[in-house]
Chain A
Amino acid sequence: MRSLASITAMFVFVMPAFATESAKPAAVAIEQSGQPDGVFEAVDMDAGAVLYADGCAQCHGRAGRGMASFPSLKGRDTDYISNRLERYRAGESIGPNSALMMPVSAELSDAEIANLAAFISEDFR
């Protein structure tokens, strides 16, 4: 399976139907975890932004730069974010904040993880 980052780089395109006033792409094509190799779905950046605001910003901050003992997400690519969320979702303990991240990730679908990864990697460069 090709990496999410490389796929994202190859298939970024703007979806007018999801376009917002921001310059960033509202949606990108990305390979979904669990899909057969070569199957792609549109990633919804706006949905990722909403998910982030509702479930992540309280600890990682509105700009993703981290605070207190919650790490910065700046500069993290889609591979990193997706991998971490998938591992937390599977119940794997990774570091001292796992008790919070595991339940937060447990309810995320593949598409939601992809949306979050795309938003974070794009918005918090």
Chain B
Amino acid sequence: MKLPSRKLPIAAIMATSIAAVVPTASLSDGHAPSLSHTTVLTGLDNPWDMAFLSDGTMFFTEKCLGLSVKLPDGDVNKLLGMVDTSDYASTADDLFCEGQAGMMGVAVDPEFDDNRFLYVYSTSSMTAPGTNRLMRFTVNEDLSGVADRTDLIDSVPYKPEASDQPFGGPGAHNGGRVRFGPDGYLYLTTGDIHGAEVPQSPTLLGGKVIRIDRDGNAAEGNNAPDGFDPRIYTYGHRNVQGIAFHPETGQAITAEHGPWHSDEITALVPGGNGGWDPRPNMAGRGECPDGYCGYEPVQMEALDPEERAAYMPMTDFVTYPDAMPPAWDNNGLSQGTSSAVFLTGDHWGAWNGRMAVGLMGIGFGGTPVGQRIDLIHMAEDGLSVHDVMEMPLPMGSGRFRSLVQGPDGALYAAIDEGDIFRIMAE
């Protein structure tokens, strides 16, 4: 298919901010870097994720608009629009947004130079009542369009109707991050869609981490329990929006948003259970609003997070003694933990090898909003953390939706408000 070039003048959306250097808090070894930042893009509509080519080309998604790419010369090509968009090279009318759902994660194939494959996760109306789909596209040579859509996964559940929960509108809890691991497999994180049966279901693909090859086949060694969909790598998750890979061990580590308590950082093991099970009439619980206990016992009122965790644990070790233990639970608080990436390179000084975790921020029941980027020093076995500190930001804070390390070694951070920042260390 021949696609027209749709270049936009980058000046319209690119900020020309001057880098401001902010000394960071010193660590004990005295090698913390100094940070500066520039604003790469601004005025976007809920930027959700980014993926880079080695020359700095940056693909990015906007939740309700679609997929675009920023070229090294600064131009932006609008590649794939969602329904009701008009200025993209091509449009997929089944792709739509609702609440938290829409176009989310994007990943570049490690062999992109040869196969031109790009992967995008989005909500689709192709089949009722809607699903979340992982799609593969071929990007054309001049980066002006995508073609050859192949839906690798077409049945990740979507929440079509509102329910009696906080944030209970349609479209809740889709997960959404797409990343290639160092093992060459594609990882997709999903969410529980406020569906009590979903996370522990052996067949429903919500509340899971899925691991497949570039054609959509189950990865070898997923080790899902008997009767499970073989594409499932781990299950029993609530809403995983972050996944990163330990730079030394290669282990996949998720960042997961907790239910009014306990955001979790968890090192995954094949076939592992995250221990999230919000079903009623089990684990000491009775009936729950609209059959979902995820915010109980009092979903609309403040309550000590410890009491919440005792009633509706993020990881239920009583019911599932072999559940994967979180390495970090954000001091028992839920503040919208979203994305994660390991910082690598000598320019990061003492932070080389730390996992950067973006928190969108949410203040409920006395919990501070907490919009920030945390730097987590993971233990090598993934079972605990050595240290957690807040990155002293060189720019204002925001709802940090996506963190990606670019090929230049800088940390790229997208906030829902519409900015993508480049954070440099020296």
> B365–A68 contact, CB under 8 A?
no
Question: By the criterion CB–CB under 8 Å, are B169 and A62 in contact?
Answer: no
> Which chain A residues numbered 91 to 105 have a C-beta less than 8 Å away from chain B?
93, 95-100, 102-104
A67 located at the interface, meaning its Cβ lies under 8 Å from any Cβ of chain B in the complex: yes
Are B168 and A67 in contact, CB atoms less than 8 angstroms apart? no
Contact present for B166 and A96 (CB under 8 Å): yes
A109: CB under 8 A from chain B?
A: no
Whether A103 and B399, one on each chain, are in contact in the complex, defined by CB atoms closer than 8 angstroms, is: no
B window 283-311: CB within 8 A of A = 295, 299-300, 302
A69 close to B99 (CB less than 8 A): yes
Is A58 located at the chain interface by the 8 A CB criterion? yes
Determine if A100 and B166 form an interchain contact, defined as CB atoms under 8 angstroms apart.
yes
Measured CA separation A95–B169 after assembly (Å):
8
A93 near B369 (CB under 8 angstroms)? no
Q: Is the CB of A100 within 8 A of B99?
A: no
- For B401, the chain A residues whose CB sits under 8 A away are 68
Q: Which listed residue (A59, A95, A98) contacts B300, Cβ 8 A? A: A98
Q: Which of B307-340 contact A (CB under 8 A)?
A: none
> Would you call A99 and B300 a contact (CB within 8 A)?
yes
Q: Mark B364-380, 1 if CB is under 8 A from A, else 0.
A: 11000101000000000
CB distance from B64 to the nearest CB of A (A): 11
**What is the CB-to-nearest-CB distance from B364 to chain A, in angstroms, rounded to a whole number?**
6
B46 and A100 form a contact (CB under 8 A):
no
Q: Say yes or no: is B112 at the interface (Cβ < 8 Å to chain A).
A: no
Expressed in whole angstroms, the Cα–Cα distance for A67 and B43 within the complex equals: 12
B322 to chain A minimum Cβ distance, whole angstroms, is: 33
User: Contacts A68-B360, A99-B299 known; A58 to B166 CB distance under 8 Å?
Assistant: no
Interface size class of A (residues with CB under 8 A): 10 to 19
Contact indicator per residue, chain B 349-373, by CB within 8 Å of chain A (1) or not (0): 0000000000011111100010100
B91 to chain A, nearest CB (A): 23
How far apart are the CA atoms of A62 and B397 in the complex, in Å?
A: 11
Residues of A within 8 A of B266 (CB): none
B416 to A, closest residue via Cβ: A67
* A96 with B300: CB separation less than 8 A: no
**Chain A neighbourhood of B171, CB < 8 A:** 69
In A67-125, which residues have CB < 8 Å from any B CB? 67-69, 93, 95-100, 102-104
Q: Are A69 and B169 in contact (CB under 8 A)?
A: yes
**Does A58 lie within 8 Å of B300, measured CB to CB?**
no
Range of interface residues on B (Cβ < 8 Å): 20 to 34
Partner of B363, one of A58, A63, A68, A93: A58
What are the residues of chain A within 8 A of B365 when measuring CB–CB? 103
Question: Do B369 and A58 have beta carbons less than 8 Å apart?
Answer: yes
Minimal Cβ-Cβ distance residue in B for A67: B416
Q: Mark A30-57, 1 if CB is under 8 A from B, else 0.
A: 0000000000000000000000000000
Bound Cα distance from A99 to B271, whole angstroms: 35
Cβ of A125 to closest chain B Cβ, rounded Å: 18
> Shortest beta-carbon distance, B62 to chain A, in Å?
11
In the complex, whether B417 has a CB less than 8 A from a CB of chain A is: yes
Contact B417 A96 (CB under 8 A): no
**Pair B299/A96 contact, Cβ less than 8 Å:** no
Which residues on A sit within 8 Å (CB–CB) of B295?
A: 99
State how many angstroms separate the Cβ of A26 from the closest Cβ of chain B. Answer: 24
Q: How far is the CA of A100 from the CA of B302 in the complex (A)?
A: 10
Cβ–Cβ < 8 Å partners of B165 in chain A: 96
Interface string of B202-233 (1 = CB under 8 A from A): 00000000000000000000000000000000
Minimum CB distance partner of A95 in chain B: B169
Contacts of A100 in B (CB 8 A): 166, 362-364
Give, as a whole number of angstroms, the nearest-CB distance from A124 to chain B: 14
How far is the CB of B248 from the nearest CB of chain A, in Å?
A: 34
Contact of B169 among A96, A99, A104 (CB under 8 A): A96
Question: Is B162 interfacial (CB 8 A cutoff)?
Answer: yes
- B4 CB → nearest A CB, Å: 30
Contact of A67 with B46 in the complex, beta carbons under 8 Å:
yes
Q: Tell whether, in the assembled complex, residue A61 and residue B299 are in contact, meaning their CB atoms are under 8 Å apart.
A: no
> A67 vs B416: C-alpha distance in the bound complex, in angstroms?
6
Q: Least Cβ distance of B342 to chain A in Å?
A: 25
Contacts A58-B369, A69-B172 supplied; 5 other A-B pairs, CB < 8 Å: A62-B417, A67-B417, A68-B63, A98-B166, A103-B365
Contacts from B to A (Cβ < 8 Å):
46, 63, 99-100, 162, 165-169, 171-172, 295, 299-300, 302, 360-365, 369, 371, 399, 401, 416-418
6 closest Cβ pairs, A-B complex? A99-B166, A67-B416, A96-B169, A96-B168, A99-B300, A69-B99
26 A-B contacts (beta carbon < 8 Å): A58-B361, A58-B369, A58-B399, A61-B417, A61-B418, A62-B417, A67-B399, A67-B418, A68-B399, A68-B401, A68-B416, A69-B99, A69-B100, A69-B171, A93-B300, A95-B169, A96-B99, A96-B166, A96-B167, A96-B169, A99-B166, A99-B167, A99-B300, A100-B166, A100-B363, A103-B365
